[in-house]
Chain A
């Protein structure tokens, strides 16, 4: 039996059928035109779209509630899936009895891992180590053990309670330290260490020998939840052509496609993954969650199966940001030049590998960034623990490195009596410098970001010096910087794009990296429009469908604008060339006399509209396919960490101004200035959105966010107790400063901006706290009690001072 599913004729599923889209498209075009003119464009002029402030194509759908999230995809007869999850953090599964559940009201199918052939059971990212459903043992509380498909969600949920799993509990391993201790219970058959990475540069001892000051500190961070509003969700069915189709909110459809083929045993061409509108991802939608289970149940029952995680499941059943302990020893000369950095990391990888090694590799490469430190030693260890797997999250861990190194820089500046900006200038990476991996840097805009911030810093410094306390709150300024590699770390990760036109003049650009809410479809259309000469309004981007696009890697690692943008640029140029050649033949003109520019064609001395031109070559137009592939040569030896890990790097400096209530330990972030070297900014509206979101997210990590874990369980798996910044917490003024910069390898000079706006935020707030109160935070989050303890420690007073003894009185 197959689903009675008729695919809408629109090429981009997420936005609905063409008929559904027509109205919105018309309305959108009007908005687009108005925005373009407001931004200085001329009516009718189509070219030079890169750099314009343009509203994205999907905003109308979203604000009017028309966007297709998995939950709203209509599907007759769909079953609902729920998981039976492990209550234990570490236990052997002795027996699973599903008999009662199978007979329960509404239940159509029950799936256990035992039904999946062992060679198909495990999935993963770098390593296939995670069972679709646990069979012999569970490694964290919340691990899926049984999947049940029923007519309603309530029936599926009720049946889950009828499954009897008998467990034999095993000793829990709850910290990396415990995982490394001799005699620790083994979580993985290969041992408790997920990765042990080392890298050296220069001569560490000589570096410390040359130092006048040495600072050593340990920084700790807690696990963080991605907190996307839309939980993981999917809908699986077999379409009328017999293709297993899985609709899912994901960052990487092609990954699921390959994995589903393996897990189900279906040939690769009998699988299709369609990305639905993604309600937030941030790295948390790149691992298997619902996909494999609902696909197997759809095949088993012959009916569509849908699954949507609850919020609690999001907390207990998806990846987290790694909790990490960072120990840095930094040596510097009296003049501020850093001579040595010894870095040690211990990260909590949770129950399975997920992206742990990628986070680790990025940490090794980014150690010391964006400073040119001649002598370094880096040692990174990540272990298993019996908590949900730690995985990818915005910046792949670099936000924690920035917290550590920038706090060290502030301390160093303080010790040496140097201005914090001056100290950073002395050590900043610049063009031609070689990184720890031996890569020669080009187009380094770091100093420009310091230049942009410096006058603002000086001005605010004067204001704060004149009024250091406002309404009882101490005021402080903090700056923090970063350098961040664009794309995968040290492995090739090509993107491809295709541009095609139809005889009616409509144009479709295909790209594998999906738009996960960042507006990347818009940026890619802008780039393709610019390089092809086709009007932006004609171009629809199809992305996120594994059968309509090539695998171009995930939308992650800030890589889409740069990698896919380059592919779109090349594809646009290729289209233009083929199109001009075909038209020249049709008009019997030499090729060099036909030009597609500004959405019009000049052929010798006549002018043709794009539609007219398409009509003239109607017989040929379907055959024209502009193709672009961008695949820079990047490689790093994972043993020596030598090579070129990224094609380019982006840089930024943030300045924050805070006010601190010292009696309560509370921090208010009042203003924030963000100077970024993102290369050319393709669409400033989109880029500003990324920055504002990054600041909010960084504030959360700085001040509140913490997945609190105790005895193997997460104690705050809901938003009442997991505190995110709300609209009233985020500073009203977030100013984006784009420094003049062009990357010679980027599309029209663009680099990327997505993750980086988050990275300096906790560090900058920490610096501002130091500035305001003279305390040195070493932990995230800087929650009220932690800040109060720091302030009390500074004054040599206990947390709960007897008021009488101090005689403070009414204030």
Chain B
């Protein structure tokens, strides 16, 4: 049986110091859900665990005076789902968190742990991409900001460097006229963490013309990493969400994503599903944008 060292960090700098000392041999543990599974399946046998779960500075949800929403890495999915501050600032997030697994996972799993894991099936990555969040990392050289669109690099690989922690996620305020929506396909209503397809849409609609001024599209489950659908965004930006435009965007999306076939579905089926979920989610986001504009009038 291999021995495993365990450090319970109380402050960010303690955790960072431990990671530096471990020189890449340590694993950060937050909610421990993903890590626990990997250890049970013997895919990971850590020799050093750095427990960050007691670091107060990584907890909490704050809305700054400029409207920026900051979510600490240790915030649970449940807290994201139920926080009034989150709902007011970024209504996509509770909608997204509601789609995660079940109560037990939501109570334990952390926002930061989920993002650091970078599971292509994960939901928070889809949202941070669509909402153009900023990932703030703490490391030996201090803090560093990484745009969400550049955070997910490879299968289970993020832009975090050795010895870095994800400290918090910053969401810029939604522009006037923005509507957001989150949509997910899963085989069952019961929790699924396999073969799901998720789409997060942030659409800013110009009230006068009905044109999509700006758009953010994140997708999950359609490739080895959470996907920023840039080309599809480009196909929609500046356009009115009319049938022909959306049809063209769907064609772009089909080419932009490379879903993996698995034991349940073929890659083409997932492509098709992605277009259906995109249509439906985009429709909801645009409708909300319109409603939001009406409400503000």
The reply on B1 being an interface residue by CB < 8 A is yes
Complex Cα distance, B243 from A769, in Å, reads: 29
Q: Check B191–A811 contact: CB distance below 8 A.
A: no
What 10 A-B pairs have minimum CB-CB distances, sorted nearest first? A809-B243, A726-B190, A728-B189, A803-B250, A803-B247, A708-B263, A785-B269, A800-B268, A804-B247, A810-B246
Q: How many residues of A are in contact with the other chain, CB < 8 A?
A: 34
* Chain B proximity of A387: nearest CB distance (Å): 15
Assembled-state Cα–Cα distance A116/B62 (Å): 69
> Can you name the residue of chain A whose Cβ is closest to the Cβ of B185?
A664
CB neighbours of B107 from chain A (8 A): none
Give CA–CA (A710, B261) in the complex, Å.
14
Chain A residues with CB under 8 Å of B280's CB are 811
In the complex, which residue of chain A has the Cβ closest to the Cβ of B249?
Answer: A803
Pick 26 A–B contacts, CB within 8 A, sort by A: A663-B276, A708-B263, A721-B263, A723-B194, A723-B264, A724-B190, A725-B190, A727-B190, A728-B189, A783-B187, A783-B265, A785-B264, A785-B269, A800-B272, A803-B251, A803-B275, A804-B247, A804-B251, A807-B243, A809-B244, A810-B241, A810-B279, A810-B282, A810-B286, A811-B280, A811-B283
A720-B193, A809-B244, A810-B279 as given contacts; A802 in contact with B188, CB under 8 Å: no
B260-297 residues with Cβ-Cβ distance < 8 A to A are 263-266, 268-269, 271-273, 275-276, 279-280, 282-283, 286
A725 touches B247 (CB 8 A): no
Q: Give complex CA distance A804, B244 in Å.
A: 7
Q: In the bound complex, how far is the Cα of B194 from the Cα of A804, in angstroms? A: 30
Q: Does B192 contact A (CB under 8 A)?
A: yes
> What are the residues of chain B within 8 A of A154 when measuring CB–CB?
1
Q: With an 8 A cutoff between CB atoms, is A660 at the interface?
A: no
Verify if B66 is at the interface (C-beta below 8 Å from A).
no
Say how far A319's CB is from chain B's closest CB, in angstroms: 21
How far in angstroms is the closest Cβ of chain B from A505?
47
Q: Is A740 an interface residue (CB 8 A)?
A: no
Q: Is B54 an interface residue (CB 8 A)?
A: no
Cβ–Cβ < 8 Å partners of A167 in chain B: none
Q: List B contacts of A23 (CB < 8 A).
A: none
Tell me if B248 counts as interface (CB < 8 A to partner A). yes
A728 to chain B: which residues have CB within 8 Å?
Answer: 188-190
Contacts of A716 in B (CB 8 A): 263
> Which chain B residues border A803 with CB–CB below 8 Å?
246-248, 250-251, 254, 275
Indicate if A48 sits at the interface (CB-CB under 8 A).
no
Q: Is B3 in contact with chain A by the CB < 8 A criterion?
A: no
Tell me whether A94 is interfacial, beta carbon within 8 Å. Answer: no
How many A-B contacts if CB must be within 8 Å? Answer: 97
CB closest chain-A residue, reference B272: A800
B185-225 vs A: 1/0 string, CB under 8 Å? 10111111110000000000000000000000000000000
Q: Which residues of A contact B188 (CB under 8 A)?
A: 704, 723, 725-726, 728-729
CB nearest to A800 among chain B residues:
B268
**A807 vs B193: C-alpha distance when bound (angstroms):** 33
Known: A728-B189, A729-B189. A799 touches B265 (CB 8 A): no
A721:B282 contact, CB within 8 angstroms: no
Give every chain B residue within 8 A of A809 (Cβ-Cβ).
242-244, 246-247
A710-761 residues at the B interface, CB under 8 angstroms: 710, 715-716, 720-721, 723-729
CA distance A808 to B249 in the complex (A): 12
Interface string of B223-254 (1 = CB under 8 A from A): 00000000000000000011110111011001
Q: Which of B266, B271, B283 contacts A810 (CB 8 A)?
A: B283
- Given the complex of chains A and B, what is the CA–CA distance between A716 and B262 in angstroms? 10
Verify B194–A720 contact, CB threshold 8 A. Answer: yes
- List 5 other contacts, CB 8 Å, given A663-B276, A721-B263, A803-B246: A725-B188, A799-B268, A802-B251, A810-B279, A811-B279
Minimum Cβ distance to chain A for residue B2 (Å)? 11
What CA separation (Å) do A10 and B192 show in the bound complex? 43
How many whole Å from A712's CB to the nearest CB in chain B? 15
Kindly report which residue of chain A lies nearest to residue B273, judged by CB atoms. A664
Contacts of B248 in A (CB 8 A): 803-804
Closest A residue to B1 by CB, please name it.
Answer: A154
Measured CB to CB, the closest approach of chain B to A537, in angstroms, equals: 39
Which of B243, B244, B272 lies at the interface centre, i.e. has the most chain A CB atoms within 10 A of its CB? B272
Chain A residues with Cβ below 8 Å from B275 are 803
Complex Cα–Cα for A708 and B261 (A): 14
Q: Is the CB of A721 within 8 A of B189?
A: no
CA of A728 to CA of B272 in the docked complex: distance in angstroms?
Answer: 25
Bound-complex Cα distance A807 to B263 (A): 31
B271–A800 touching, CB < 8 Å: yes
